[in-house]
Amino acid sequence: MHTPDRKPDSGGFKDAIGPNIDTTNPEAAKWFWEKIRDRYVKPYGFDYIWLDETEPDIDPAKDVFFIGSGTRFYNAYPLFHTISVYEGFRRDFGEAGG
């Protein structure tokens, strides 16, 4: 995620970890799922994914989401984050799982 002037917001974390991913952006959601699919699901057949932190670990209040302001969509982050993986799974593996 980035600030209104399009600067990536890494919060208090080191650059190696980087900003929150903005899964309200369909392109980012697709990228996120495809990384998980290609690195974990396809090679190993996992069908139960531990996403762990589905909250924005960096406070998004001063950032902008693809769909609107960080304050307006502040709490909706977990909804979009889980949609990215759920819908990707369904799209690529259907009902049967990986």
Partner 1 sequence: MILARAAYLGAQRNGTVFWSSDIVSTWDMLKRSIPAGLNFTASGLPYWDTDIAGFFSPSLPADYHAEHKPLIDGSEVRGTIGHYEDYPELFVRWFEWGAFQPVMRAHGERNHNEVWSYGKRAESILAKYLKLRYQLLPYTYSVAYRSYQTGAPYMRALFMDFPDDPKAANIPDEYMYGPAFLVAPVTEQGATHRTVYLPAGCD
Q: Which stretch binds partner 1 (CB under 8 A): 5-13, 19-27, 60-68, 76-84?
A: 76-84
52 binds partner 1 (CB under 8 A): yes
- Residue closer to partner 1 by CB (options 44, 50) is 50
Long-range contacts of 51-60 (CB under 8 A, 24+ apart): 51/81, 51/82, 51/85, 54/78, 54/81, 54/82, 56/1, 56/20, 57/11, 57/13, 57/20, 58/1, 58/9, 58/10, 58/11, 58/12, 58/13, 58/19, 58/20, 59/11, 60/1, 60/9, 60/20
49 binds partner 1 (CB under 8 A): yes
For partner 1, the binding residues (CB under 8 A) are: 47-55, 75-79, 81-83, 85-87, 89
